[in-house]
Structure 1
Amino acid sequence: MTDLFYLTEGNPPPQNAAGGFFTTRDGRKIRYGVFAAVARPLQGTVVLLTGRNECIEKYFETIRDLADRGFGVATLDWRGQGDSSRLLRDRQRGYVRSFRDYTRDLEQFFEEIVLPDCRGPYYILAHSTGAVIALLASPSMVNRVRRMVLIAPFLAVPDLRVSIATIRRVCAVFCALGLGRLYAAWGPRPKLPTPFEMNKVTSDPERYRRNTDIYRAWPHLGLGGPTIRWLKAAAAAAEAVSDRDFMARIQVPTLIVGAGADQVVSTKAVESYARRLRVGSLLMIDGAHHEILQERDLFREQLLAAFDAFVPGTGDAA
């Protein structure tokens, strides 16, 4: 362990690492990391937003890739996961009252850390739940963020016969009955990781092993399944960002990247959303699983090439 980050074999930390904790307005401690670019010319800062049950350490490789491109990186563990404050006595339960709590934390992160301490211009690279949080926050980010790259946003569950609105309504009933802290799926984190052959997030055995090793070595960074209240909040956020009037307020140019073999979020919903977003474009990476940044090089390099093409380079830096 360093002073702030947790180390495992095969997952070296990026150079020029700094960070700490900031305290949210409702008293939660949020861990963040700031990583300076190692290449020149300097291109600005990428704000990296992780998915559900992810931590900063899982993105060390991606942070190094961005630093090698001349970007600084600023990232954080969302409230309730990683090394940030947990919201329930049982640390395993994935819980949040509302995704607006996440967006308020993100806005405070910008105000207290990113804007004063990180070089502009600013870009967002976000995965899954983080991509939905970025969309939800985007109307207030229009004068801060130049472009967003959103990977596999969690807008709907694949092959589900009911709508996301129905999921929200059913969860709301359970919450009204005082059952919001119960698991909605999966339960506590298993003592042994899911065998690689049964995982749904990547086809890369080495990156899968690297990521499971993080949580095996440092189990307090991990999280079990989502609670009913978390699922209600996620469904409400997916509905909110899909509203036609809300989408019209999104003015930050956005590249949405879908995983063609995604078994976690609905690829059809991702495609449909990108087509309806006025400032959006779509890249579908055929054959890729949900966690494209943790995928085989064949898929991961397509994403990084798209990032390089979409996020302005040398001549665009401020």
Structure 2
Amino acid sequence: MTLTLLATPGNPVPPGATLVPVRTADGLTLRAATWPATTRTTRGTVCLVQGRAEFIEKYYETIGDLRRRGFAVVAFDWRGQGGSDRTVRDAHKGHVGDFGEYRLDLAAVESGVLEPAMPRPFFGLAHSMGGAVCLTAAREGWLPFERLVTLAPMVAICMIRRPRAAMRLAAFLNRLGGGRSYVPGGGPVSIATKPFPGNRLTTDPERYARNAAAALAVGAGAVGDPTVAWLAAAFRAMAPFEDPRWPAPIRVPVLVFAAGDDPVCSTPAIQRFAARLKAGHTITLPGARHEILMERDTVREEFWAAFDAFVPGTSAVPESASLQSTLSPTPVRA
């Protein structure tokens, strides 16, 4: 497996990258990369935990932001996307049979990258699906981070009009043996390359265009729609978040960001969940769509103000961060 990081105009590879092949317990190879902080002293390591259909190249700007803040950075691609191994022949399909497979990925990154090579303490910055995985890990006691920041965590989805009917259909088709097929109506085109007007991800046209160019450069790495099995697994993974008692065992400090105009994950569901966290805060960013880190500067500035107060060392969130109660192709080779 040859590991590369791709550059596109306006999206150069951050200097200082080290590419790392990470082997999972079930024999897959994940693409991971590390960067040192660009400050004199290092405040720890932030691990970027992607959402579905994402890839490292999309996060170059955020990697630079973190390094300037004094953090070393680890980024990796989940199995089934980016530069990591697939378990289906069509590399455009976003596929797992169960979200427990993502636990194997995160454990491999912890043992193969974080523990042996990166400065402590470790913090997680997790988006969407990655947020759901990390929150589950926090509850079950296998989260490798001292603090967790999660953006638009996938505790419930709103992009499907009748989610319960879709859940039943996905489970039925999966039982019939159709788990490796695209979801009905799905195909290989990446959501990141679709036209900007009406997109679900961001209100920032420049960042959207940058990410679309990166998605075209990585090709199948950007993946298309998920498989039936992935969707069935996602519904199973989200179901526990509805239980008001489920968050109680989470003791890791968590800062939850919700996007005010998120058409992918349910903002009200995120707010209800976050309100039940014993060691959590929530911030809703008005006007933001699903990908908060890819939003316009004003939204990102609010995000970074709150991040800076929360990671590391204090759970305080500044008033300027609009705290709201949840109750109201240049390759780099390894």
Structure 1 distance, partners of 2:252, 2:280, is: 9
d(CA) in 1 for partners of 2:65, 2:96: 31
1:80 and 1:206, CA in 2 relative to 1: closer, same or farther beyond 3 A?
A: same
1:25 Cα deviation after fit: 1.6
Gaps of 5+ in 1: none
The alpha carbon displacement at 1:41 in A equals: 2.8
Change (3 A) 1:226 1:313: same
Residue identity opposite 2:236 in structure 1: A
Matching residue of 1:18: 18
Q: Deviations over 1:204-248 (max 9, x none)?
A: 111111100012223132211011110111111112344455422
Corresponding residue for residue 294 of structure 1: 294
Deviations 1:79-121 (A, max 9, x none): 0000101121111111101111101210121012101100001
Judged with a 3 Å threshold, the aligned counterparts in structure 2 of structure 1 residues 256 and 229 are, in CA distance, closer, same or farther, namely same
Amino acid at match of 2:217: A
Partner of 2:175: 176
CA-based RMSD of the aligned residues comes to: 2.2
Matches within 5 A, 1:202-221: 202-221=202-221
Q: Judging changes above 3 Å, is the alpha-carbon distance between structure 1 residues 45 and 192 closer, same or farther for their aligned structure 2 residues?
A: closer
Aligned residues of 1:43 and 1:313 also touching (Cα < 8 A): no
Supply the distance in 1 between the matched residues of 2:87 and 2:261 (Cα, whole angstroms). 33
CA contact (8 A) 2:45 2:119 kept: yes
Superposed, which structure 2 residues align to 1:85-234 within 5 Å?
A: 85-139=85-139, 144-158=144-158, 162=162, 167-184=166-183, 185-189=185-189, 193-234=193-234
Contact 1:292 1:300 in 2 (8 A): yes
- Contact preservation (8 Å) 2:150, 2:257: yes
- The answer for unaligned runs of 5 or more in structure 2 is 315-334
User: Contact conserved, 2:23 with 2:108, CA < 8 A, in 1?
Assistant: no
Structure-2 residue corresponding to 1:257: 257
Query: Relative to 1, partners in 2 of residues 1:67 and 1:213: Cα closer, same or farther, differing over 3 Å?
Result: same
- The 2-side partners of 1:225 and 1:99 are apart by 17
For residue 161 of structure 1, report the CA deviation from its aligned partner: 5.6
Helix, strand or coil at the partner of 2:8: coil
* TM-score computed with the length of structure 1 as normaliser: 0.92
**Identical columns (%):** 42
- Preserved contact between residue 274 and residue 281 of structure 1 (Cα < 8 Å): yes
Q: Is the 8 A contact 1:103 1:136 kept in 2?
A: no
Shift of 1:167: 4.1
TM-score (structure 2 length as normaliser): 0.88
Q: How many pairs does the alignment contain?
A: 312
SS in structure 2 opposite 1:97?
Answer: coil
